[in-house]
Amino acid sequence: MRLSTLTLIGALSLAANPAPVSAQAVAPASVPAFDGEALLEEALSKVRPIALHTAEVDWAALETDLRPRAQAARDTVDMLPVYRDLLAALHDGHSFVQADPVDLAAYRERSAVDLEAGRARKRWTSAFVGREEVAGETATLSNGRRYRLVVVPAMAGGGARASAKAAALFEATVTDIDTTCGHVIDLRGNSGGNVWPMLLGLSPLLGDGLYGWSRDASGKAAPYARITEGQAVVLEGQYADMTMARVDGWRAIDAADRPTAVLFDDGTASSGEGVAVAFVGRPKTRSFGQTTFGVASSNEGLLLADGVNLVVTTALMRDRLGEVHPQGVAPDQWVSTSEDARTAAEHWLSEQAACGEAEPR
């Protein structure tokens, strides 16, 4: 939401015998004319250097299209489709315009359509999208051994909310860890949000270390944060040393070598894919389901002078083997939507040494 700044532009001093108010002329404050072209220049100068596919964009043609529209814009509402089309031209499938709901509603009223109406967008088919709560269940394999099932839903928000989500997921992950032989992590329908409470909550399985690895347009790869002792801390840049989330009640539990099955589908997107990527290359791990949505990429918010935030894809998420997944993360074992990925995962777990045949009773 945009913030207004009130500026005191002057004060009127009255003499001992002031003249009538009607005789004192106060010049009206001048309001700067709206400058859509300047906003476009700002947007271009911020987006072009960092966009993932910047080398593939015909910037001259794009500016030729957008400039007259920006010049004709009367206000931020008129600029919204200009911003939308700028980001659409990046062809990354993940960049988007984040605007004040009041402006979005005004655009809808003015244009009779939503801002994103008509834009070709990929749709998921997952029946699991919309799950909101972390869930944990201790279940039994066909051989009598027990395992831990953990559902990881999308997680929005930061601060205390992110930390609360991280703590809930941590507890769901470590419950009964001494009496179970492995894990099934269910990421199906996890459409994204904030990846850090997800990674923190699963850190007993993933291990502490550097996370948020991504590869930018130049090919440079770098991590974003370090997870250590129940905290996710930014490594460098504007927010260096900032703790993004923490697990209250954290204790050291090393389960990084436990057999772990990971379930995902085409509703696993964005930060949900970030969790899937974190498990790629982990020992004693196998994934089941369908290929993820295909936006396993990192975004950066670019705040403009009019308060609109352009969320731009800048890099591709990189797994611990150094690979990126621009078309989505493919499962190790494909399981169609008409079959049960959990059943396939249970079968695999039962074949692992740690989850071998239960002792006779």
Q: Is the model's pLDDT at 63 over the cut of 90?
A: yes
Which residues fall within 8 angstroms of residue 298, CB to CB, at 6 or more apart? 212, 214, 224, 313, 314, 315, 316, 317
Candidates 325, 258, 265; CA nearest to 293 is 265
Query: What is the greatest pairwise CA distance in the chain?
Result: 105
- Please give the pLDDT value at position 15: 32
Tell me the C-alpha distance between 52 and 298, whole Å.
9
Looking at every residue in the chain, the average pLDDT score rounds to 89
- Please give the pLDDT value at position 120: 66
- What is the average per-residue pLDDT within 55-82? 97
- What is the average per-residue pLDDT within 111-134? 88
- Over residues 5-62, the pLDDT tens digits come to 222 222 222 233 333 334 444 445 566 789 999 999 999 999 999 999 999 999 999 9
- Between 115-129, 169-183, 309-323, 332-346, the lowest mean confidence (pLDDT) is in 115-129
Q: What is the 3-state secondary structure (H, E, C) of 201-225?
A: HCHHHHCCEEECCEEECCCCEECCE
- Could you give the domains of the chain? 36-111 (no CATH), 135-293+328-355 (3.90.226.10)
Task: Return the percentage of the chain with pLDDT > 70, whole number.
Answer: 90
- What is the average per-residue pLDDT within 210-231? 91
The answer to whether 314 and 216 are in contact (CB under 8 A) is: yes
- Between 95-104, 243-252, 351-360, the lowest mean confidence (pLDDT) is in 351-360
- Please give the pLDDT value at position 175: 98
- What is the average per-residue pLDDT within 71-77? 97
- Please give the pLDDT value at position 261: 99
pLDDT greater at residue 90 or residue 23 = 90
Q: Is the model's pLDDT at 359 over the cut of 70?
A: no
- Between 21-25, 85-89, 329-333, the lowest mean confidence (pLDDT) is in 21-25
Q: Is the model's pLDDT at 115 over the cut of 60?
A: yes
- Please give the pLDDT value at position 134: 98
- Please give the pLDDT value at position 30: 61
- Over residues 253-264, the pLDDT tens digits come to 999 999 999 999
Q: Is the model's pLDDT at 111 over the cut of 80?
A: yes
Q: Using 50, 70 and 90 to split pLDDT, how confident is the model at 333?
A: very high
Q: Using 50, 70 and 90 to split pLDDT, how confident is the model at 188?
A: very high
- Please give the pLDDT value at position 338: 78
The answer to whether 288 and 331 are in contact (CB under 8 A) is: yes
